[in-house]
Amino acid sequence: MATSAVFAQDWTVKAREEKSLVLYHTTNVPDTQKILDGFRQRAPYLAVEPFRATGEKLIQRITTEIKAGRHLADVYIISGLQAWLLKDAGYIAPYRSPERDRVNSALKDREGYWSGIYWNLEVLGYQTKLVPAHEVPKRWEDLASPRWKGQVGLEEEDVQWYASILQLMGEEKGKELMRRIAQQRPQIRRGHTLLGQLMAAGEFALAPTLRVHEAEALRRRGAPVDWHAIEPLAPNPPVCVMLPKSAPRPNAAKVFIDYILSRDGQEVLRQMGRNSSRVDVEQSIARVTKVKLMEMDWEKVQKNYARYATEFREIFVAGAAH
């Protein structure tokens, strides 16, 4: 620990000379602002310029910039699936933060390229004024019922959910179910936060991929929203922090990564209702600990991600456009 502290002090000194950093991320804006507020208390000498996009669009931006020889970002925060893509492309560098030892071993890679900062669980959200408790779907097959025609909301990049159903049921049966659900004309929206807000407002009754922390936040605000876990449920890959290989301000980046993996940074995430990646920070949502999870072959998902994304768009998004 003493050696780690010396190294951390070394890049903290150099970070003061760099003065700023650029953060590319997928986390919603209000939560990112809370993270940055906490970081300013830790490192007031660093100005942070955040840029947010959805996962696929952020990957496209990073790829386009790097191929053009433009290296703008100092830190990436993105889903584990995209983290694997960035590693395979050679776009990120290993960084073993002194705080990394306290991160759950299932939420970081062995080589030090990425570290989970929190993990999401997507549950079946429902609008309690529109869905009586006895009608809440208990199986994924229930979503194909004509009862839910036009009453299901999906996010336009719900590829992980699609892949998890195929792993759970098998490719053939899974695709058949996806097509049957698509026949009920689900509403396609951009962003899981918006999905929850629209469901709460009554635009549709069900959201099969509602982030559990957003469901709980809506409930706390008195919105007519609750959630149910259709078990076994696939957890999402962790949302990860990583260092771009050609970050223009690598020392500032390390200071930020150290903070977000620290207990202080993780407490900020926990207070938002996020599931912390650290083993010494309690989870914020008690109901989550009781959910039966399925084991996902995320390496298979990553290798087949392009195909899954194409199939999801063909089944759901392209059909919704007509």
CATH number at residue 259: 3.40.190.10
What is the spatial distance between Cα 181 and Cα 210, in angstroms, rounded to a whole number?
17
Q: How high is the pLDDT of residue 259?
A: 97
Hey, how many other C-beta atoms are within 10 angstroms of the C-beta on 93? 16
Q: Please tell me whether residues 127 and 113 are part of one structural domain.
A: no
* The total number of structural domains that make up the chain: 2
Q: Please tell me whether residues 144 and 174 are part of one structural domain.
A: yes
Q: Please tell me whether residues 222 and 143 are part of one structural domain.
A: yes
* Per-residue exposure over 134-168, b if at least 16 CB sit within 10 Å of its own CB, e if not: eebbeebebbbeeebeebbbbbbbbbbbbbbbbbb
Q: How high is the pLDDT of residue 6?
A: 44
Angle in degrees, 0-180, between the axes of helices 29-42 and 263-271, rounded to the nearest 10: 150
Is 116 in contact with 206 (CB distance < 8 Å)?
Answer: no
Q: Which residues contact 106 (CB under 8 A, 6 or more apart)?
A: none
Q: Please tell me whether residues 156 and 268 are part of one structural domain.
A: no
Q: How high is the pLDDT of residue 118?
A: 93
Q: Please tell me whether residues 181 and 314 are part of one structural domain.
A: yes
Q: Please tell me whether residues 158 and 259 are part of one structural domain.
A: no
Q: Please tell me whether residues 227 and 192 are part of one structural domain.
A: yes
pLDDT 10s per residue in the chain (322 long)?
A: 444 454 566 889 999 999 999 999 999 999 999 999 999 999 999 999 999 998 889 999 999 999 999 999 999 999 888 888 899 999 999 999 999 999 988 788 889 999 999 988 899 999 999 999 999 999 999 999 999 999 999 999 999 999 999 999 999 999 999 999 999 999 999 999 999 999 999 999 999 999 998 999 999 999 999 999 999 998 888 899 999 999 999 999 999 999 999 999 999 999 988 889 998 998 878 888 788 888 788 778 888 988 999 999 999 988 664 4
Q: Please tell me whether residues 90 and 156 are part of one structural domain.
A: no
Q: Please tell me whether residues 246 and 115 are part of one structural domain.
A: yes
Task: Provide the CA 9 distance to its chain's centre, in angstroms.
Answer: 31
Q: Please tell me whether residues 51 and 88 are part of one structural domain.
A: yes
Q: How high is the pLDDT of residue 210?
A: 97
Give the range of the structural domain holding residue 25, as residue numbers without chain letter.
2-119+237-283
Q: Please tell me whether residues 313 and 213 are part of one structural domain.
A: yes
Q: How high is the pLDDT of residue 3?
A: 42
Q: How high is the pLDDT of residue 303?
A: 86
Pull the structure tokens for residue 125.
């959200």
What's the predicted TM-score (pTM) here? 0.70
Q: Please tell me whether residues 54 and 138 are part of one structural domain.
A: no
Q: How high is the pLDDT of residue 294?
A: 85
Which residues is 189 bridged to in the sheet?
155
Q: How high is the pLDDT of residue 287?
A: 86
